Amino acid sequence: MKTFSLPSEGPKERPDFLAQLNAQQKQAVTHTDGPLLIVAGAGSGKTRVLTYRIAYLLQQYKAAPEQILALTFTNKAAREMKERIKDLIGDKAGKLWMGTFHSIFSKILRFEAEKIGFGSDFTIYDTSDSQTVVKQILQELNFDTKEIKPKTIHNKISDSKNQLITADTFQEKFISSTLDDITARVYSIYNKRLKQSNAMDFDDLLVKPIELFQKHPDVLEKYQDRFKYILIDEYQDTNHAQYKVTKMLADKYQNICVVGDDAQSIYSFRGADISNILNFKEDYEEATQVPLEQNYRSTKAILQCADSIIKRNTKQLDKTLWTEQGYGERITLLENFDERDEANRVASHIQNLKMRHGYKNNDFAILYRTNYQSRVFEESLRRKDLTYQLVGGLSFYQRKEIKDVLAYLTLLVNPHDETNLLRIINEPSRGIGNKSIQDLLGQARDEGRSIWSIIQNVESLDVYKPAKARVREFVDMINRLRNNLENGETLTDTTKAVLEQSGYMKALVEENSQESMMRRDNIIELQNAISYYERGAKNASLSSFLQEISLITDQDKFDEDKPAITLMTVHASKGLEFPVVFIVGLEENLFPVGARQNFDVDIEEERRLFYVAITRAEERLYFSHCRSRFKFGEETRQARSRFLEEVDAGVVQTETGATITQKKDRFSDDGNSSGSDYTVDYDWKESRTKKTHRSPSATIHYDYEDGEDPFQVGVRVEHKKFGPGKIISRSGSGTDAKVVVFFKNRGQKKLMLRAAPLQVID
């Protein structure tokens, strides 16, 4: 085994960069030995602490770069940290083991895969590939995939893997329904099918290292000695498999440092276990806990709002965020008729802020709970000619034409990959029909071999005679391309040869449609990506390129410098920050989502999600909700989110400067709402002559001096003829004052205030 020597220890001078840290950050950076829990509040500089801690370990000769393992949740975070460390200590940063859980453990598995029965060039299946395998198994078991959804079965298998529940254990202990029984049958076959294809899914990249370490204690000890110091970012987001594998690695030296914020644990739906961070000091009794509480991101008003929300959760580690920044603007509440009104008003506020305060497009983020909410905002921003980027849409690497070309390239590395072989054996059409493909599958299943091994001997195939010739041509083409690659052909030339010899690009050109030309352009962009990779990588290989793109996350695709307004879910926004943030759709059963089986636990996570959304904002923050939404083609009345009843009312105002008075007991523990009415008090100055305009329900009252009136922009009114509406603009003064009102049932109307029969209704 390779050993690592440290430089001879001279005088350990105090590194200059420590002077840039506050007291808590400095304590976290310089505590080098033993387990350490860093509870890092939002915007408290955790990335700086991790970066400086690694630099400090190297400068103090505690470890060689190769002995430090730093695990993150995005490749982007790993790259940024490595660049910062390089600025501090130089090129030694390049030797660090730093990356996402999946990238680091896939790297380990490349070295050790043969010990657990896999080849080193195994394919990594993404979610869609895995669901394709599940669908094929269901069909082979004669289940209707329209009734038994492959996605549902795959999700249950994935959840089981993340909890380290094997197929055998699932079969023995976890069957309580027909769906569980089907899952158990598929789970066992699914694992065998992946191994036969020399493939691993995303969950295997965490589960297989545990299997490796359990079966080969000598391999575990090798990596324990290699990784003398382990650092884990976003520890609150780890699942049971991630917890287990890192605990195994840390057991020998106990030099494990975890950084996280329990208040930002929002991924239970994909297996994250908040107890990992809450119970860290039980796992490591000698652990030191350091809180990072000074926030460098947000104004005092935003922090006060966030704190008022998260303090309502019962399960949390003790910390209180504070900042030296100014109080800032109060949070603005936008009250809208429906989702179209909401989108238009948000877009108008963005235009206004750009014009009045000089904000740029990429200073804005619109955050929502679910992806479908983006559509109306996209439409509104397009109408106002505001550039935007949608995060979380269809990934470039998930497009059909890109996955097709990548399937060809994958076969050059791993021809036993059944899923990718079946994807392109007749793509583009080469005369190998579905009947012939099913015959090939049947023969492979009967003989217990991979399809690739079956089709090597074409004469032995039991398929339609003309199809045999086409299969032979396909096999010859793949073997020819593989030989050229093995003999030193560049990745760029190999990709070009694949496109030419397969006829894929020719088929797109001959189709000559707008869609086929777009697909052609996407493939050209893929060629550019491969060429760029080949020029930049030290030891470029097709296997490494395929692994790299298979591990790309949504956040890795986000371009924070693009001059565009960002639209994304709150989940996708974690780790990001923007000067101006709009949190939209703050309604019951939307944000928070509807009650689930364990409501008490889920509402705490929904509250943490709201906290994450609030703490993305640096300078200005807007809340928004609708009175009604269209669902299934019908208008549905919406109840305002309970979170708007929980926030500190002192930091929230309506568009006209009103502070909200909340109904504290609006929601019972079971999540049922008593309605969406609420009270707003306008804090006008006292005067000698005071008038009050009051609606019959008296839910809002206005007190104003002579010369002032309540008919301001944003106020809801009732017209005897046109019904309910909202004032959207105002012009003139005195007896010439005019308002433009958007009426729910009659559209937009321009009215003279002195003549119009308007009454404030809210």
Alpha-carbon span 762 to 600, nearest angstrom: 33
Which of 24, 46, 555, 588 is labelled catalytic?
46
Alpha-carbon span 264 to 613, nearest angstrom: 10
Which of 47, 166, 332, 492 is labelled catalytic?
47
For the chain, count helices (H), then strands (E): 29, 26
CA 24 from centroid of its chain's CA atoms = 29
* Cβ 122 vs Cβ 198: under 8 Å: yes
Q: Which of 480, 520, 482 is nearest to 504 (CA)?
A: 520
Strand 738-743, strand 723-731: pairing:
antiparallel
Alpha-carbon span 232 to 249, nearest angstrom: 12
Alpha-carbon span 508 to 506, nearest angstrom: 5
User: Which residues lie below 8 Å from residue 657, measured CB to CB, with a gap of 6+?
Assistant: 682, 683
Binding residue per annotation — 145? Answer: no
Alpha-carbon span 409 to 329, nearest angstrom: 54
Alpha-carbon span 331 to 298, nearest angstrom: 12
Binding residue per annotation — 43? Answer: yes
By the 10 Å C-beta count (0-12 exposed, 13-18 middle, 19+ buried), 668 is classed as exposed
Binding residue per annotation — 41? Answer: yes
SS3 540: coil
Alpha-carbon span 284 to 72, nearest angstrom: 21
Which of 156, 244, 369, 616 is labelled catalytic?
616
Give the count of beta carbons closer than 10 Å to the beta carbon of residue 225.
15
Which of 121, 126, 233, 604 is labelled catalytic?
233
Backbone angles phi, psi at 175, to 5 degrees: -100, 115
User: Which DSSP string corresponds to 591-641?
Assistant: TTBPP-SSHHHHHHHHHHHHHHHHTTEEEEEEEEEESEEEETTEEEE-PBP
Binding residue per annotation — 272? Answer: no
Q: Is 418 a catalytic residue?
A: no
Query: Which H helix or E strand runs over 661?
Result: strand 659-661
* Cβ 728 vs Cβ 749: under 8 Å: no
Which of 234, 262, 307, 401 is labelled catalytic?
234
Alpha-carbon span 219 to 189, nearest angstrom: 28
Binding residue per annotation — 44? Answer: yes
Q: Is 233 a catalytic residue?
A: yes
SS3 112: helix
CA–CA distances in Å: residue 171 to residues 81, 121, 208? 43, 31, 20
* Cβ 566 vs Cβ 584: under 8 Å: no
Backbone angles phi, psi at 622, to 5 degrees: -125, 135
Alpha-carbon span 684 to 703, nearest angstrom: 6
**On the CB side of 251, how many CA atoms lie within 13 Å of its CA?**
12
Q: Is 46 a catalytic residue?
A: yes
SS3 464: coil
Alpha-carbon span 554 to 218, nearest angstrom: 36
Q: Is 686 a catalytic residue?
A: no
**Tokens 């809002």 correspond to what residue?**
700
- DSSP structure class, residue 448: T
Which of 59, 238, 242, 264 is labelled catalytic?
264
Structure tokens at 688: 């000698």
Strand 288-292, strand 36-40: pairing:
parallel
Alpha-carbon span 132 to 186, nearest angstrom: 12
Q: Is 264 a catalytic residue?
A: yes
**Tokens 């007190």 correspond to what residue?**
703
Alpha-carbon span 388 to 369, nearest angstrom: 18
Amino acid, res. 620: R
Binding residues for ATP: 40-47
Known catalytic residues are 46-47, 233-234, 264, 616
Residue positions forming the annotated binding site? 40-47
